[in-house]
Structure 1
Amino acid sequence: MAIEQEIEFKQLLDENTYRTMKTAYFSDTPPFTQTNFYIDTPDFQLMSHKMALRIRVRSDKSNELTLKVPGEVGLTEYNYPTSYQPKTSAQLPEHIIPNDIRNVLDQFHIDASQLTILGYLTTHRLETTTPSGLVVLDYSEYLGTEDFELEFEVDDYHDGYEAFTQILDTYHLTHKTPLNKVQRFFKRRQSME
C-alpha cells in the first residue's frame, strides 16, 4: 500500500503539439499502455465528492486499485495492488476494497456495495524525468474519441508551476486547466446517452 500526495499540472494538447513535444522529449522512447477502469455508484456518489476510484491495468505490472481524494494542495492517492480483473458493468467485490479506502468511503457515506465498474479509458503514455519534475505525454482513447494531454508531476506547487509555465511558453500554449481523465470519460459517456 502507498498513500501519496500528488501535485500535477495538466494541459490538453492538439495532435500537432503532442507530436512536436513527443519528438522533443521522447524521440527514442516507446510508450507503454495502461487501461483505467473507472468505478462509481450508479448515482455518482464518488464524483459528487470530487473523488475518483479506478483499477489500473498494465501488462508489465500488477493491477492497482487507486482512490483519489482532493486535498488542500493536489490529491491524496490511496494505491493498492490487486489481482482483481475488472470488467465493465461488473459490481466491484467489496472484499477487494482495502480498509484505508473503505474508511474514506465510510467518512463520506458512500455505499461500497453499490460500486460498479462503469467503463474504461486506455492511455498510451510517455514519461521522462527532468530536474523540475516528471513530464508525461498521454494519448488516450475512450468511448469512440481520443485526446492528447501533457501532465507535469512535481514535489513543490510553486516551483512546479513556474517550470510548467516555462514548458507551455516554449510551445506557445496558454494554460487552461482541463477536466481530468475520469471527468472527461464521464462527460463523454453522458453525451452519448
Structure 2
Amino acid sequence: MKPQTQPDQAKPVTGLRERKKARTKAAIQREAVRMFREQGYTATTIEQIAEAAEVAPSTVFRYFPTKQDLVFSHDYDLPFAMMLQAQSPDLTPIQAERRTIRSMLEDIPPEELALQRERWVLIISEPELWGASLGNMSRTMEIMSEQVAKRAGRDPGDASVRAYAGAVFGVMLQVSLEWAKNPDMDFAVALDEALLFLEDLRP
C-alpha cells in the first residue's frame, strides 16, 4: 500500500511545477525576442521560435496565444497592483507609485530587464507592433486608473483619476521610449527622477 501524501508535502511539487512553467514561458519569449531582433518580426515564424526554445509549437501557443503576445506579454500588472495597495496610506499618490516601481525594478534580474528593453526596441521599430501597442497601453491605463482610484477612495471613471493616471503613464512611456534608444540609460533612476516632477499632482 502506497503511503498517502500529506498536504504539506504536495505544496513544493506544485511550486516546482509553476516555476518550471515560468522558466519555459521566459525561455520562449527570450528566444522570440532574439529572433525578432536578428531576422525581423514578420520573417520569424512560430515554428522557428519553438525550435529555438526546444518546445513544440503548441507549447508556444499555450503560453502566447498570438505572435504579438510574444512581445507584449508580461506578468507585472498583478504584482504592481498588490504592491501599490500595500504602500502606506500616509504617502502621496506619486510617492506610493515611485516606491512600488522602485521595488519592482529592484527585484527584476538584469537579464530580464534587458529583455524588456529589447521588447521596447521591437515595438517602436515594427509598425505592426507599434499599432497593436496602443490597445495594450489602453489596458495598462485602465489598470492604473483602477488602482489609483482604489487608494484614493474614488471612482475609476472620475476625470481627475484618469487624468492623474494618464500623466503617470505618459511619464513612464516617455522614459521607456528614451530607454529603447539609449541602452546606457539607467532606467530605474531615470524613471524615478521623471516621476518626481509629478509630486504635487493629486487624483
Q: TM-score, normalised by structure 2?
A: 0.21
Structure number, greater radius of gyration:
2
Bigger share in helix: 2
Bigger share in strand: 1
Higher relative contact order (CA 8 A, sep 6+): 1
